[in-house]
Structure formats: C-alpha cells, structure tokens
Amino acid sequence: MKKYKGSVFIETTACKIIGEIEFDSIEEYRKKAEELWESQDYDYPTTNVTNDFELNDWEIGEVNESYLKYYEQSEN
C-alpha cells in the first residue's frame, strides 16, 4: 500500500465579458465597472449550458506539500 491516497481534480475559471467602458484611472474603472454590472442586474455565469461564456482550458488542480497530511493513509 502506498503512503498517500488522494483525489485528482481538474479545474478552470469561468469568465464572461459583460461590456466595455472607457476610463482614466483605476478608481474610475471600478466605479464604471460596478455601474455596468449593476445595469445588468448583476447577472453572472452559471453551469447552465445555454450561457455564453468561455471556460478556458482545464488543468490538473495543484497539490502541494501542505496537503499531504490530509492524504496520508493509515496502515489498517
């Protein structure tokens, strides 16, 4: 028996362009971006297949040394 056993998962990030704005500063961007999203009733992507958004490429989820304590198997 191996020392560790853990799940392998894939992940991606969903993103959707909701429009374009013009701005001269980060503060103005944030204000206009919030106003744009509010004007769309804060619509956001869901897992419904009819949405028009890009999931990008899938990747293997990262596992690092600190996770190993959760994957350690007992000898029993």
Number of domains in the chain: 1
Q: Is residue 36 part of a domain?
A: yes
pLDDT tens by residue, 11-45: 777 777 888 888 888 888 888 998 999 999 988 76
Q: Is residue 1 part of a domain?
A: no
pLDDT of 5 higher than 80: yes
Give yes or no for a contact between 73 and 4, defined as CB atoms under 8 angstroms apart.
Answer: yes
Whole-number Å distance between alpha carbons of 40 and 44: 9
pLDDT of residue 39: 94
Whole-number Å distance between alpha carbons of 61 and 13: 12
Give yes or no for a contact between 43 and 51, defined as CB atoms under 8 angstroms apart.
Answer: no
Q: Higher-confidence residue: 9 or 40?
A: 40
Q: Is residue 19 part of a domain?
A: yes
Domain that holds residue 56: 10-71
pLDDT of residue 49: 63
Whole-number Å distance between alpha carbons of 71 and 76: 15
pLDDT tens by residue, 37-56: 999 998 876 666 665 666 66
Whole-number Å distance between alpha carbons of 31 and 9: 37
